[in-house]
Amino acid sequence: MHEKQNLLSLTKDQLDVFFSHLGEKPYRTKQIMQWVYHKHVLDFGAMLNLSKTLRDKLENSACLDLPQITKQNHSLDGVIKWLLDLGNNNQIEMVYIPEKDRGTLCISSQVGCSLACTFCSTGAQGFNRNLTTAEIISQVLIANKHLNSKNKKISNVVFMGMGEPLLNESSVYNACNLFLDDLAFGLSRRKVTISTSGIVPALLRMAQTTPVSLAISLHAPDDDLRDVLVPINKKYPIKELLDACQNYIDSGQQKRHILIEYVMLDGVNDTSEHAKKLVKLIKGMSVKVNLIPFNPFEKTQYRVSKASTIENFQDILYRSGIRTMVRRTRGEDVDAACGQLAGKVIDKSNRAIKLNVRN
């Protein structure tokens, strides 16, 4: 039997092609998208403005499959973490982080990651596989369904969960297309962010094709240190990366800026010297810096910088005219920090099961 096409993997244009192969008119695309994304109906049988013949055709050739939720943890500060099962022992996490004026969903793009950044628990687990577009956007569908019932909303989506989005380009770009499409999620391009450790050729492609926001995981102000923390730097060193960033900034039809992520590791990258070097590197660029207190995990060699050290670092950047914020640690009681999701999940000892699950 041929495999059914999961329609959640298709953009509007791809749905047009799908329906034309079925001998249907393009307006079917709009009807299906309204059912799925606006009315949250995933059962072809319930899509009453489609003819019975078409519903039967769809049952035979297509599906609208979501991953299963295997765990849902609520932290005391409102953060929710879900564990999703993608089959064959592949698990991913996503995290909802409510703030005063917005709700951010942090999503995954791969099971594991091949880039082995030394301070990242996903990197410690190796790479398993890329997510499909359907698996990426399902994260938002599933979270939305849960949050709607509680009158909460996802206003921002960030690729800061497991995996390197720019090593899964086609699925991630299709997902972004759906995030921005008014017929699907209808988010503005400022509210969808790809975070990358700096895959330069992909970054150059993304700048031209996918008009979403960009966050760069820099973490070090020189190549010697970045080679250690973010090993992909040996292939795409800082100068090439920042040139690609400038290209992104210059490519937008509207004014663009970039978020620079910098994880604060005690005694490793957090001194005044590091801060001054960082200023030299990025001064004059249209960037904002996000200092992320390191989130420790089992067997890590790193510790988080002291609060006073982070403050000093922020001060040096700030006084040089660089907008800098310190990310607040959230959801600590459920291990829900963005970018620090996977460790507890695929850990062979299956510690996730021991997490304190409420609900």
What is the set of active-site residues?
93, 338
Give me the least distance between CB of 165 and ligand SF4, in Å please.
9
**CA dist list (Å): 175 to 158, 191, 237:** 12, 14, 28
Pick the binder of ligand SF4 from 73, 122, 156, 174 (CB under 6 A): 122
Tell me if 120 contacts ligand SAH by CB under 6 A.
yes
What does R_g of the chain's alpha carbons equal in angstroms? Answer: 21
CB burial of residue 79 (10 Å; 0-12, 13-18, 19+): buried
- Report the partner that residue 156 touches, choosing among ligand SAH, ligand SF4, none (CB closer than 5 to 8 A by kind): none
User: Contact 253/283 with Cβ under 8 angstroms?
Assistant: no
Tell me if 117 contacts ligand SF4 by CB under 6 A.
yes
Residues 149-168 that bind ligand SAH (CB under 6 A): 159-160, 164
Tokens of 63: 């599906």
Give me the least distance between CB of 326 and ligand SAH, in Å please.
12
Residues 187-246 that bind ligand SF4 (CB under 6 A): 197, 217
Residues 271-330 that bind ligand SAH (CB under 6 A): 292, 294-295
Residues 6+ apart with CB under 8 A from 214: 193, 194, 195, 196, 203, 206, 245, 248, 256, 258, 259
Task: Give the x/- contact pattern for ligand SF4 in 145-184, rule: CB under 6 A.
Answer: ------------------xx--------------------
- Which residue is associated with the tokens 């960009």? 214
User: Contact 171/129 with Cβ under 8 angstroms?
Assistant: no
Phi, psi of 157 (to 5 degrees): -125, 130
Tell me if 339 contacts ligand SAH by CB under 6 A.
yes
Tokens of 130: 């890329």
Pick the stretch among 49-57, 117-125, 269-277, 293-301 that binds ligand SF4 (CB under 6 A). 117-125
Tell me if 270 contacts ligand SAH by CB under 6 A.
no
Residue count, binding to ligand SAH (CB under 6 A): 18
Give me the least distance between CB of 87 and ligand SAH, in Å please.
22
Tell me if 106 contacts ligand SF4 by CB under 6 A.
no
CB burial of residue 220 (10 Å; 0-12, 13-18, 19+): buried
Tell me if 261 contacts ligand SF4 by CB under 6 A.
no
Residues 6+ apart with CB under 8 A from 301: 118
Pick the binder of ligand SAH from 197, 233, 314, 324 (CB under 6 A): 197
How far apart (Å, rounded) are the C-alpha atoms in residues 30 and 232?
41
Interface residues with ligand SAH (CB under 6 A) are 113, 119-120, 159-160, 164, 195-197, 217, 261, 263, 292, 294-295, 338-340
Interface residues with ligand SF4 (CB under 6 A) are 113, 115-117, 120, 122-123, 163-164, 197, 217
